Chain A
Amino acid sequence: MEITDQNNNGQVGPVQVLSDIYGGLLPQRTDVTLDSRPIQWEEDGYTVIRGHARSAPGCHNACGVLQYVKDGKLVKVEGDPENPYNQGRLCSRCLAMTDVVYHKDRLMQPMKRDRADRGRDKFVEISWDEAYDIIEREFKRISATYGPETIMMCQGTGRDIHQVTRLNACLGSPNEGVPYFAGNSCYLPRIASMACMLGDAAVMDCSQFLPLRYDDPRYVVPELCIVWGHNPFYSNADGFYGHWFTDLMQRGMKVAVIDPQLTWIAARAGENWLRVRPGSDGALAMAMLKIIIEEDLYDHEFCDYWVYGLEQVAERCKEYDLEELAERCWVPLEDIQRVARLYAQAKPAAIQWGVALDQQTGGQQAAHAVTALWTITGNLDVPGGNVIGRPCWGIAQPNWTGTWGYDDLLSPEEEPGKRMGADRYPLFGVGFKNLSSNATFESWEHEEGTPSGSDGFYGPYKFKAAYFVTNNFTACMGAQTKMQMERWYREQLEFIVWSDIFMNPSMYALADLVLPVSTWAERIGFGGLNPYSISCINPSIEPVGNTRPDQTIFMDLGKRVTREGVIPFTQGGEGEVDLDLIERLEKKYGIKVDTSRGVHYKDIAYPWDTVEQMWDFALQDGGFTWKELQNSVWRYPDFQYRKYETGGLRADGQVGFETPSGRAEIYSLVFQYASEHAPEDCKLDPLPAYVEPRESPYSDPELAKQFPLILTTGARIPHFFHSEHRQIAKLRALHPDPLVYIHPDTAAAYDIHEGEWIWIWNDHGKCYYKTSFNDTYDPRVLQCEHAWWFPERGPADPEDEAGPFGVFESNCNNLVPLPAGVSGFGANYKAMVCQIGKTEPAVSNVPDKPIVK
């Protein structure tokens, strides 16, 4: 695949570097590993169909499954023992898949509701044709009245719906993302740091790139892994199957764990469990970096050859005092020293991190420090270290990173020109094509019709319509969600369409139009959300009820709403026509272009008759069709270690990394360049640093007197994917109530008994949880589970304070401050000050005026 990024105008610099990360790679078609066993067979009256579990319902993984079908019904799902990814294993959610597919509450028919009735029981069932007519009418009206950029696509996490980006692109909108999720606080802060520093993203090597897995002779089991803010067995985040950890521990790997919570794996780490104060991971990372540099424990040869900025980082470390850092993160210095030395001396050693790093004010800076740790110790891209993963055959946009179609369907004036926040926060401008949540917050509060910034709030425009693709943000992701729902989404959006497999509280509160979608067992597709392999989502049954797969809906709608006209930069005329681009589009889409006419948006937006043809197009850089993928179930491209030694990372084929200096930049030139034109309050630090969370005992001691405890959140429950699965009786029985984990001494001080329900609050809001005693937490720290709602309680009218299905009641996100760090990334979902008690406090979950920055 040729490197073509029309959006950077051929300019060399950070834009070029970052745009290359998820695309523009030479396909590696050599030495592909296929699965050559049958994809289907008969067994005891069942038809068994191999495939992969993806979404819906939600998951970040792509586990191999055997689907047992009888009389057109899915009877059970088993793990495919011959799939390299999960090797036959499955979690409770897939094992209860038939309970999801045939649940009595599944949405079966499109529905509409008048905008005036949002939040009320006024849905009316309609046909798909009518649903599509309404969407077409409203998207076209809003696009013509306010501009296409005011229409946004909203997602949850990790769903296989990234193809929706093509739909917003064909409208002319560059806006897709998670606009309710303060600080875009999930993986993007870490991805951004890695991508700028390394030119790529890295992940712990558990042999997952190699289809032979642990038996591949190239693989080396890490001596040690630091598990940082991560509970892999229960979260299985970001294409990382958590139980690869037990595989490696059974093969001799030792672990150290950094977590406020004594997770199962922390209990195995013993003395090497570092019970960090929530939100202070950056202090711990800076201390480790300082120890490794000043005790001369780094890999000199690797740093000499491949690292940029070691001297500057060493200077930065001198500015910090180890005792102070240790005091800040509530970990004894001797423990930090021991783990830092163990890590630096183990060969190879890996770090596997979790979303905790993203959910704090200084998350991006902490990620910078952690990336520097594995870089200077020479654990980068080596077997058993942190290895650089690239999209298989360059295929990433439709199945993983989104932005599918942006290159061809949006002009530079539109992307990044019109993308919300791209001109506010440099990291959103240079590489990551999501809309910025915090820029969106400001835009809601900006006075409409006045110039951006004139009232102190960024606001080039306000969003007018949204398509929520399987999301439930009032339960999960949203900060201060009752306020967001009532003040922003309900009041300011003119049209809201929502798709999912079940009615959820967010949809009930807001949707004007409901689209019932099919599960992964009912549709074709391909995964995964990872750089290891391309896997086939292979249906075993017809769509249940009158549901349709998300991707069918995207294509059906795309054919209706793609804007009219000629793509300006392909139009004939003096000095206008870009013949190279036209040639590329002709080849890519199999079309013939009249260069005097140019290419119309409709020529290339959705030129397919079936979803399968759409997938053939999406897979073409791999050199195989969807049917060929189906027949092979999965395909692994050849994987290589130490790619910086062979020219495998750079577009120019030179050795080194795809960064401005060609080295792994622990002093980031991209951060430096990108900040040059950034607003004063958004400039990035090219060096790693510790940034104290907002509203902490150190950044606001007065506030901390009023709210003396620290609330962290997100303790994972293995049977639920975030806010999903609460209605699956078999799974819910395993964990019926929302729990807050509290030290018994703290509880005693408040006269709280185990199992009692308590209120937890701060200035932003309150929530109500059942207590579970746990004396392994720091007594000053409590931890809430997140994403709770109660399907069994049924919907409620907008006047009910608890909200539909009780969503605002046991909702720790009510307490989350909205502002992010200077990068636009990182909000304190996991580090909030709070107070607790048995009586409901006089705190509203809907502040009169939200503090957005």
Chain B
Amino acid sequence: MSRNGILVDYQYCTGCYSCEIACQSEHDLYLGQWGVKVIENGPWPIKDKDGNETDQYVYDFLPSFTKVCDLCADRTAKGKLPSCVHHCQASCLKYGPVSELVADLEAKPWQYLIVPPRG
């Protein structure tokens, strides 16, 4: 059986945190437990080699999937998407077989592929 994963296009993750709450609600997790947690990086200006601030900035949000994530096995068995993917407001999460997502990963920068251990 092929492994499944989630491809994150973090060029477009806006930090809305829908994935976190979708997961907590779907799996009825205790407060302080996450299947996916969004990590904030920035905002900060990129400095040039002389230490001067440029007009380019880093402000990224990185959904980080945990051991709790089972890629919503109950949902996917019924042909539904994992709840985080279904509700992702920026449409920047894609679920599928790793072999297919790797091709997508190749096609565009600013992405990463997550394969949770229970997926």
Interface size of B by CB at 8 A reads 33
0/1 per residue, B29-62, Cβ < 8 Å to A? Answer: 0011000000000111100000000011111010
B32, B83, B87, B89: the one within 8 Å of A246 (CB): B89
The 8 Å CB contact of A92, one of B21, B61, B92, is B21
B55 x A95 contact (CB < 8 A): no
B14 interface residue (CB < 8 Å to A):
yes
B24: Cβ under 8 A from any A Cβ:
yes
Chain A proximity mask over B71-99: 1 for CB below 8 Å, otherwise 0: 00000001000010011111110000000
A-B contacts, 27 listed (Cβ < 8 Å): A44-B78, A76-B26, A78-B87, A89-B87, A89-B88, A89-B91, A90-B89, A92-B16, A92-B18, A92-B21, A95-B25, A95-B87, A96-B21, A233-B15, A242-B89, A246-B12, A249-B12, A250-B12, A266-B57, A267-B59, A270-B57, A271-B56, A719-B21, A731-B21, A775-B44, A776-B43, A776-B57
User: Which residues in window 236-250 of A have CB below 8 A to B?
Assistant: 242-243, 246-247, 249-250
A89 touches B57 (CB 8 A): no
Contacts of B26 in A (CB 8 A): 76
Determine the distance from Cα of A730 to Cα of B57 in the docked complex, in whole angstroms.
Answer: 31
Say yes or no: A90 contacts B18, CB within 8 Å: yes
With a cutoff of 8 Å between Cβ atoms, the chain B residues found around residue A271 in the complex are 55-56
- Which residue of chain B has the shortest Cβ distance to A335 in the bound complex? B55
Q: Which residues of A contact B (CB under 8 A)?
A: 44, 76, 78-79, 81, 88-92, 95-96, 98, 233-234, 242-243, 246-247, 249-250, 262, 264-267, 270-271, 273, 718-719, 729-731, 733-734, 774-776
Residues of A contacting B59 in the complex (Cβ-Cβ under 8 angstroms): 262, 264, 266-267
B17 and A718: CB pair below 8 A? yes
**Known contacts A775-B45, A776-B43; is-contact A264 B87 (Cβ 8 Å):** no
B116 to chain A, nearest CB (A): 20
Do A79 and B86 form a contact, CB below 8 Å, given A262-B59, A264-B14, A271-B55?
yes
Residues of chain A within 8 A of B56, CB atoms compared: 270-271
How long is the Cα–Cα vector from A273 to B44 in the complex, in angstroms? 14
- Contact check, B86 vs A78: say whether CB atoms are below 8 A apart: yes
> Which residues in B have their C-beta under 8 angstroms from that of A95?
18, 21-22, 25, 87
Residue of A nearest to B53 (CB): A775
A783 → B minimal CB distance (Å):
13
20 additional A-B pairs beyond A79-B86, A92-B20, A262-B43, beta carbons within 8 Å, are A76-B25, A78-B87, A89-B89, A90-B87, A91-B16, A233-B14, A233-B16, A243-B14, A243-B16, A243-B91, A246-B12, A267-B42, A267-B58, A271-B55, A271-B56, A718-B16, A729-B31, A734-B17, A734-B20, A775-B45
Contact A89 B18 (CB under 8 A): yes
How far, in Å, is A260 (CB) from chain B's closest CB? 13
Identify the closest chain B residue to A776 (Cβ). Answer: B43
Of A44, A242, A262, the residue contacting B57 (CB under 8 A) is A262
For A774, list chain B residues within 8 Å (CB): 43
Q: How far is the CB of A408 from chain B (nearest CB, A)?
A: 42
Complex Cα–Cα for A96 and B29 (A):
12
Residues of A within 8 A of B92 (CB): 246
Residues of A within 8 A of B90 (CB): 233, 243, 246
A775 contacts across to B, CB distance below 8 A:
44-45
**In the complex, what residues of A have CB within 8 A of residue B17's CB?**
92, 718-719, 734
CB < 8 Å neighbour of A247 from B15, B20, B91: B91
Chain A residues within 8 Å of B78, by CB: 44
In angstroms, Cα B57 to Cα A266, docked, is 9
Complex Cα gap A78–B26 (Å): 9
A78 to B61, CA, bound (A): 23
Cα-based distance from A730 to B21 in the complex (angstroms): 8
Residues of A within 8 A of B91 (CB): 89, 243, 246-247, 250
Q: Nearest-CB distance from B24 to chain A (Å)?
A: 6
**Cross-chain contact A267 with B43 (CB below 8 angstroms):** yes
Contacts of B45 in A (CB 8 A): 775-776
- B12 CB, nearest partner CB in chain A, Å: 5
- Is B18's CB under 8 angstroms from A776's CB? no
How far is B43's CA from A90's CA once the two chains are assembled, in angstroms? 25
Residues from chain B with a CB closer than 8 A to the CB of A729 are 31
Verify A730–B24 contact, CB threshold 8 A: yes
CA separation between A234 and B16, bound complex, in Å? 7
A718 CB → nearest B CB, Å:
5
In the assembled complex, the CB of A273 is this many whole angstroms from the nearest CB of chain B, namely 7
Whole-angstrom CA separation of A247 from B92 in the bound complex: 10
**4 closest cross-chain pairs (CB), A and B:** A267-B59, A271-B55, A92-B21, A267-B57
Give Cα distance in the complex from A234 to B15, angstroms.
9
CA distance A89 to B86 in the complex (A): 7
Q: For B89, give its contact among A76, A233, A273, A734 (CB under 8 Å).
A: A233
Contact for B55 among A79, A233, A273, CB less than 8 A: A273
CB contacts (< 8 Å) of A718 on chain B: these are: 15-17
Closest residue to A271 on the B side, CB-wise?
B55
Q: For residue B88, which residues in chain A have a CB less than 8 angstroms away from its CB? A: 89
Contacts of A91 in B (CB 8 A): 16, 18, 89
Bound Cα distance A271, B58 (Å): 13
Q: Which of B20, B32, B61, B92 has the most CB of A within 10 A?
A: B20
State in angstroms the CA–CA spacing of A96 and B31 once bound together: 12
Closest Cβ of chain A: how far from B2's Cβ, in Å?
Answer: 24
Least Cβ–Cβ distance between A75 and chain B, in angstroms = 10
* Chain B residues in 8 Å Cβ range of A233: 14-16, 89-90
CA distance A59 to B89 in the complex (A): 16
Q: Is the CB of A776 within 8 A of B12?
A: no
Complex CA gap A234/B14 in Å reads 9
Residues of chain A within 8 A (CB-CB) of B18 are 89-92, 95
CA distance A98 to B55 in the complex (A): 43
B14 / chain A contacts, CB cutoff of 8 Å: 233, 242-243, 246, 264-265
Chain B residues whose CB sits within 8 angstroms of the CB of A265 once the complex forms:
14
Q: A713–B73 Cα gap in the complex (Å)?
A: 43
In the bound assembly, the distance between CA atoms of A760 and B35 in angstroms comes to 39
| Max count, chain A CB within 10 A of own CB: residue among B58, B59, B78 | B59
Minimum C-beta distance from A59 to chain B (A): 14
User: In the bound complex, how far is the Cα of B18 from the Cα of A242, in angstroms?
Assistant: 13
What separation, in Å, do the CA atoms of A233 and B20 have in the docked complex? 16
Instruction: Tell me, in angstroms, the Cα distance from A275 to B61 when the chains sit together.
Output: 22
Compute how far the CA of A719 lies from the CA of B22 in the bound complex, rounded to whole angstroms.
13
Q: How far is the CB of A792 from chain B (nearest CB, A)?
A: 14
Q: Across the interface, which residues of B come within 8 angstroms of A81, CB to CB?
A: 86
Q: Please, which residues of chain B bring their CB within 8 A of the CB of A98?
A: 25
Closest to B86 in A: A88
Query: Closest CB-CB distance, A745 to chain B, in whole Å?
Result: 12
Q: In the complex, A76→B44 CA distance in Å?
A: 38
Residues on A with beta carbons closer than 8 Å to the beta carbon of B24: 730
Give the nearest-CB partner of B15 in chain A: A264
For residue B55, which residues in chain A have a CB less than 8 angstroms away from its CB?
270-271, 273
- Contacting pair A733 B12 (CB below 8 A): no
Closest chain A residue to B88 by CB distance? A89
Residue in chain B with minimal CB distance to A718:
B16
Give complex CA distance A730, B22 in Å. 11
Residue ID in chain B nearest A81 by CB atoms:
B86
Q: Give A89 to B21 CA distance when docked, in angstroms.
A: 12
B112 to chain A, nearest CB (A): 17
A286 to B28, CA, bound (A): 53
A701–B12 Cα distance when bound, in Å, is: 42
Query: Could you tell me the distance in whole angstroms from the C-beta of A39 to the nearest C-beta in chain B?
Result: 19
Q: How far is the CB of B117 from chain A (nearest CB, A)?
A: 25
Q: Do residues A243 and B57 form an inter-chain contact, with CB atoms below 8 A?
A: no
Contact between A78 and B83, CB atoms less than 8 A apart: yes
B57 adjacent to A88 (CB under 8 Å): no
A825–B91 CA distance with the chains assembled, in angstroms: 38
CA of A242 to CA of B12 in the docked complex: distance in angstroms? 13
- Bound CA span A719–B16, Å: 8
| B25 close to A776 (CB less than 8 A) | no
Residue of A nearest to B85 (CB): A88
Task: Write out the residue numbers on chain A whose beta carbons fall within 8 Å of the beta carbon of B32.
Answer: 733
Output the least CB separation between B73 and chain A (Å).
14
User: Inside 8 A of A267's CB, which chain B residues have their CB?
Assistant: 42-43, 57-59
State how many angstroms separate the Cβ of B17 from the closest Cβ of chain A. 5
